[in-house]
Structure 1
Amino acid sequence: MSFQLGSSLLDACVLAVLAKEDAYGYSLTQQVREIMDISESTLYPVLRRLQKKEFLTTYDRPFQGRNRRYYRITDSGMEKLQELRSEWVEHKQKIESVLLGGINGE
């Protein structure tokens, strides 16, 4: 079974991966794919949006005669990640109460 994942959860996953270490696009896609089914064509607009909101910055590093664009989480990105983590815990508890315990938690 596959659940539809919203953009906020995708943002949280991308930010969480980048909170561990900087990553270039393909590497980042592979790491996020371990969590959810996503293509590079889906991920790059997310990265641009997060960059526009100043949650990410980029820098280039040479690799085999070409430049690789790396993404780095900013301080405001870390703050957003903390906010999204808190929201996730609350949301997860509500979903689990319904799926695992019924509406009244029984």
Structure 2
Amino acid sequence: MYFPTSSTLIEFLILVIIDREDSYCYDISQNIKIAPNIKESTLYPILKKLEKAGYMTTYGQDYQGRKRKYYSITPYGKEQLQFLNKEWLTYKETLDGIVEGRLRHDKD
């Protein structure tokens, strides 16, 4: 996609994904890559930021002899997700209004 993706939008997408089910980094990155082209190296600092903010927790789980780090949303993360979802809907509605010609700045 041509349009840049902000870290706030990536945070929103991560919270949406782990709200549906606990997930590990590679799985999260593969789901996010469907829209914007985000590298895993971009994803790790955002995951750490969300964990430090208390929006999610982590736990280890064995998978084929290796330990995977899974991310799980917290109640505080669910509150943040609701906030970001409202912000996203307002942002999307505003952009759609401009693109579709419904919103216009009145000329003086």
Q: Shared fold (TM-score greater than 0.5)?
A: yes
Question: In structure 2, what is the Cα distance between the partners aligned to 1:35 and 1:83?
Answer: 21
Segment of structure 1 superposing worse, 29-38 or 18-27:
29-38
Q: Tell me the amino acid that sits aligned with residue 46 of structure 2.
A: V
1:11 aligns with 11
1:32 aligns with 32
Give the aligned CA root-mean-square deviation in angstroms: 1.5
Question: In structure 1, what is the Cα distance between the partners aligned to 2:43 and 2:99?
Answer: 30
Question: In structure 2, what is the Cα distance between the partners aligned to 1:18 and 1:74?
Answer: 10
2:42 aligns with 42
Question: In structure 1, what is the Cα distance between the partners aligned to 2:97 and 2:10?
Answer: 23
TM superposition score normalised by structure 1 = 0.92
Q: Tell me the amino acid that sits aligned with residue 95 of structure 2.
A: I
Deviation at residue 103 of structure 1 after TM alignment = 4.0
- Asked whether the 8 Å contact 2:4–2:36 carries over to 1, the reply is no
Question: In structure 1, what is the Cα distance between the partners aligned to 2:100 and 2:10?
Answer: 24
What is the DSSP-based 3-state SS (H/G/I as helix, E as strand, rest coil) of the residue aligned with 2:68? strand
Deviation at residue 63 of structure 1 after TM alignment = 1.3
C-alpha offsets along residues 10-67 of structure 1, whole Å, 9 cap, x if unaligned?
A: 1100000111000111111111111321111111111000000000100000112211
User: What 5-or-longer segments of structure 2 have no aligned partner?
Assistant: none
What is the DSSP-based 3-state SS (H/G/I as helix, E as strand, rest coil) of the residue aligned with 2:100? helix
Question: Aligned ranges for residues 86-105 of structure 1 at < 5 Å?
Answer: 86-101=86-101, 103-104=103-104
What is the DSSP-based 3-state SS (H/G/I as helix, E as strand, rest coil) of the residue aligned with 2:83? helix
Question: In structure 2, what is the Cα distance between the partners aligned to 1:91 and 1:78?
Answer: 20
2:21 aligns with 21
